[in-house]
Structure 1
Amino acid sequence: MRQLIWLRSDLRVHDNRALHAALAAGPTLAVYLITPGQWCAHDDAPCKIDFWLRNLTELRLQLNALNVPLLIRQAERWDAAPAVLAELCQTHGIGCVQVNDEYGLNEAARDQAVADRLAAQGVGFRRHLDQLLFAPGSLLTRSGGYFKVFSQFRKVAHARLHDALPDCLPRPQPQAPLAVEGDSLPDSVAGFARPNETLRQLWLAGEGHALDRLQRFVDEHLADYDRCRDLPALPGTSQLSPYLAAGVLSPRQCLHAALRANQGEFASGQPGAVAWINELLWREFYKHVLVGFPRVSRHRAFRPETEALPWRDAPGELAAWQAGRTGFPLIDAAMRQLAATGWMHNRLRMLVAMFLSKNLLIDWRAGERFFMGQLIDGDLAANNGGWQWSASTGTDAVPYFRLFNPISQSRRFDPYGRFIRHWLPELAHLDNRAIHEPAALGGLFGAPNYPRPLVDLSASRARALAAFRDLPSRETDHE
């Protein structure tokens, strides 16, 4: 019985659950759907689409070596997927479509519609757990609900991993050649401009590059991760998020690499390894939240009472934030890093999100959407979870009265101004003290071409605290 693996966010041959299952069940073909209308609806960044297409090109070579032809089909939006896949199954005599699960309301509705359409013509539809360590719904509180607090989720996850560590599947063996020709891949998709070559070279495509980057991080930076991860001028983070978002790496591969370096320990041993494994579990946690609390897929706050916050309509301030022209150097350097690379250091993601949602009191959803339109690692669960955490509207969020001060954060995490000087060359001449607050020098002696601060930090903090205090009620359930 012929099998079809429908590739989505799983662009690899190693440790690919659906690919292994398909090849074990019968002669296998692969398909990828080009869905530009859906990508637009989800605000996917042009650099992300380019990265995925480049990884598809590399994946095609790997599939060719396995004698698995890769077919490319067009479906403007996901509502066209059932008809496209049904026609493909009929043409090639497919008995079962194998997929790795994706999460979110739209993804679930799409897969159910495809499964129903295929069932009507006698074709199976089999789902696999792949982009997570644990299936959503398998880690629950004692009362049977999804976790809302990360530390409790992590405790149960650690216990489960000690009981049964998920294995990594090897590269499958080639199948006998099929008399089916694969399709050529587009270099680009209309509506998604190709990024410049400098950005593309930052994020080389293919499993080989992803695995090399993982190993270099483990060998050179994992031990110091807990000390260096908050310093944006240093290469202290893995920068593997684009590869995880596209499924070029699996979370199991990352976990096993960390455990090999830490003698198999999750919560003890190297502090750097423990901290990085926690970040993998944060990624896992937000995916579970996406399934357990569907309202976050509907652009709703996790904490319903925060929907009453009096968000400001300030398009000029939003535009200044987007352009990296707020007058706060670390904020602006971070936004320019995002524009140039499609990626932003994690601590800076929290800082710029908190500045927008609290100091400017602009709806976090405006920032969430802007980030998705820029990020090469754009992922609904991680992006939404991070924004709602920073805005104090989400699960296990930072307390509403906590605001990162961008000047003190700058002095603490970029003390010599190296990150700022790299992205804001107009401030490079300032000394290590002045570079964090050029406005204190005055325009004539400081940086006349750099904008004045967009807001007064003390006044904007007071405004944000008053907005939260005036909410009719605050959720106290922390199950």
Structure 2
Amino acid sequence: MDTALVWFRRDLRLDDNAALQAALAAHDRIVALYVHAPEEEAPWMPGAASRWWLHHALQTLAGRLADRGAALHLAQGPSLAALRNAARAVGAAAIYAQRLYEPAAAERDRRVAGALQRDGIPVHFVSGALLAEPPAVVTGAGTPYRVFTPYWRTARALLRPRAPWTAPPRIPSTTLDGALPLAAFGLLPAIRWDAGFTTAWQPGEAGAQDALADFLGAPLREYADARDRPDQVGTSRLSPHLHFGELSPNQVAHAVLQAAGRLGTGARQGAEAYLRELGWRDFSQYLLHHNPSMADTPLDPRFERFAWDPRDDHAQHRWQQGRTGIPIIDAGMRELWSTGWMHNRVRMLVASFFTKNLRQHWLDGARWFWDTLVDADLANNAQGWQWTAGCGVDAAPYFRIFNPVTQGLKFDPHGHYVRRWVPELAGIAVPLVHQPWQDPDLLRRTGYPAPLVDLADTRAAALAAWKSLGG
């Protein structure tokens, strides 16, 4: 009987897992292996919130495998040594893994595959992380897209979600001696700040399936209109499950289109709007694939000489703590700290405030998100911050500076979101809840801080800095 290694990375599921499917189709049995090698992802090693999620995702994957008569074997990196040792120990005929696109991971995979190939052990990287592989989506001239709308037009025409594969009830496997316990990775925080995470999330494949099922009803029907409302349950909240591969994008797209067909017109509109958001996720990976320095370097080279203000630790700490005195900004930052997640509309607002009103370098904000988001994804994080800062290829014009007061009034019109996360303002009505500095006595009475900066003055200064680039 021949054996294959299945190298789990960010495909922590059994259903619709292309690497597992390919290995089971071509070999008699498999060994499931996860290699912990965060240093190989430097300089963007997983942050604290991601490590918390990874611990629980690995724990639940191990349980799912055990239910099918198999085991999840854990090893410490370097990846090449761990894979080579495991392959030799079980006499593996091949190794299967889902393809990754981050520059450090892609370079590592090329190095590992070359070395193991020389050992006589082929490594097969299969698709499964995206709706469309980057080489498949090109312009008529055969070059990469740099703007989302034409990119998505081409990618959407290629989209043909298939019925997802279901994991077999029994997975033929063999054992690997010397595997580590999960605690050896030290993924959980030493000081337990994660109580809010436990309340907000259920990491793992079962939690992902439950979250998808919850979305495929009223939220999908209302998604096109409600997705920008942080005061409502208007989004899927699938981003961390997708990042860790507890669901495949194919599973999600297939389920969304099937549900839309059952639910009617409103759901079809919601489905197209949601597929477009999945397209943005793909586009971020696409940009990183074609621009490997994107995580650290502005895609608009003019911003190499942009006049960012000197790093202001006091202002950055106030922003991180949700104490800027701008209610919807503070609500978002407190939601992030409590749950490891923030509504996408609010992510744009807090990033705009950081880069435009505080005029702090976008990389400082990106690093904070990287450490505190459970769905921290290198491509999405870099693309999102560059878009908001104005230095991305598909960015809104730099002069689009979000006004957090008008945005709050539009997207949190009853003030529910602000009052939930900023309890100092719990008894304050709209519109004052979005601009409490209009009543100085209210600030004295509640203890809520005055604004860190003047929104109009800092907007003007940001525009002047932009114009100095020739904008």
Judge same fold: TM > 0.5, yes or no: yes
Classify 1:445/1:92 alpha carbon distance in 2 versus 1 (closer, same or farther; 3 Å). closer
Classify 1:308/1:94 alpha carbon distance in 2 versus 1 (closer, same or farther; 3 Å). same
Are 2:74 and 1:72 aligned? Answer: yes
1:272 corresponds to which of 262, 270, 273? 270
Amino acid at match of 1:67: G
**SS of structure 1 residue aligned to 2:182:** coil
Q: For 1:365-380, what aligned pairs fall within 5 Å after superposition?
A: 365-380=363-378
2:300 corresponds to which of 297, 300, 303? 303
Where does residue 2 of structure 1 map in the other structure?
A: 3
Which 10-residue stretch deviates more, 442-451 or 418-427? 442-451
**SS of structure 2 residue aligned to 1:373:** helix
| Partners of 2:30 and 2:173 within 8 A in 1 | no
Q: CA–CA distance in 1 between the matches of 2:339 and 2:69?
A: 35
| Partners of 1:368 and 1:384 within 8 A in 2 | yes
Q: For 1:350-369, what aligned pairs fall within 5 Å after superposition?
A: 350-369=348-367
Unmatched runs of 5 consecutive residues or more in structure 1:
475-479
Classify 1:325/1:188 alpha carbon distance in 2 versus 1 (closer, same or farther; 3 Å). farther
| Partners of 1:334 and 1:344 within 8 A in 2 | yes
Which 10-residue stretch deviates more, 47-56 or 287-296? 47-56
Are 2:453 and 1:459 aligned? Answer: no
Are 2:205 and 1:186 aligned? Answer: no
CA displacement 1:362-398 (0-9 Å, x = unmatched): 1111000100000000001111111111111112111
Shift of 1:294: 1.5
Shift of 1:431: 2.1
Q: For 1:131-280, what aligned pairs fall within 5 Å after superposition?
A: 131-161=129-159, 164-172=160-168, 174-178=170-174, 180=176, 183=179, 185-187=181-183, 189-190=185-186, 192-193=188-189, 194-263=192-261, 270-280=268-278
Q: CA–CA distance in 1 between the matches of 2:138 and 2:335?
A: 38
Where does residue 53 of structure 1 map in the other structure?
A: 55
Which 10-residue stretch deviates more, 445-454 or 81-90? 445-454
Amino acid at match of 1:307: E
| Partners of 1:15 and 1:168 within 8 A in 2 | yes
Where does residue 18 of structure 1 map in the other structure?
A: 19
Q: Kindly tell me the number of residue pairs found equivalent between the two proteins.
A: 466
| Partners of 2:221 and 2:267 within 8 A in 1 | no
Classify 1:303/1:167 alpha carbon distance in 2 versus 1 (closer, same or farther; 3 Å). farther
**SS of structure 2 residue aligned to 1:6:** strand
**SS of structure 1 residue aligned to 2:134:** coil
Which 10-residue stretch deviates more, 107-116 or 440-449? 440-449
CA displacement 1:212-259 (0-9 Å, x = unmatched): 210111113100011111111111111110100100011011101110
Which 10-residue stretch deviates more, 452-461 or 6-15? 452-461
| Partners of 1:18 and 1:99 within 8 A in 2 | yes
Classify 1:177/1:246 alpha carbon distance in 2 versus 1 (closer, same or farther; 3 Å). closer
**SS of structure 2 residue aligned to 1:132:** coil
Q: Superposition RMSD on alpha carbons, in Å?
A: 2.2
Classify 1:325/1:39 alpha carbon distance in 2 versus 1 (closer, same or farther; 3 Å). farther
Unmatched runs of 5 consecutive residues or more in structure 2:
none
Question: Identity of counterpart residues, as a percentage?
Answer: 36
Q: CA–CA distance in 2 between the matches of 1:192 and 1:65?
A: 25
Q: CA–CA distance in 2 between the matches of 1:166 and 1:384?
A: 30
Where does residue 432 of structure 2 map in the other structure?
A: 434
Q: CA–CA distance in 2 between the matches of 1:192 and 1:372?
A: 16
Q: CA–CA distance in 2 between the matches of 1:414 and 1:343?
A: 18
Shift of 1:179: 5.0
Shift of 1:101: 0.4
Which 10-residue stretch deviates more, 208-217 or 326-335? 208-217
Q: CA–CA distance in 2 between the matches of 1:38 and 1:184?
A: 19
**SS of structure 2 residue aligned to 1:71:** strand
Shift of 1:454: 1.2
**SS of structure 2 residue aligned to 1:337:** helix
| Partners of 2:19 and 2:96 within 8 A in 1 | yes
Q: CA–CA distance in 1 between the matches of 2:412 and 2:237?
A: 19
Where does residue 424 of structure 1 map in the other structure?
A: 422
Q: CA–CA distance in 1 between the matches of 2:349 and 2:433?
A: 18
Shift of 1:273: 1.7
Which 10-residue stretch deviates more, 421-430 or 181-190? 181-190
TM-score (norm 1): 0.92
TM-score (norm 2): 0.94
CA displacement 1:324-380 (0-9 Å, x = unmatched): 111100000100000000000000000000111111111111000100000000001
Amino acid at match of 1:24: A
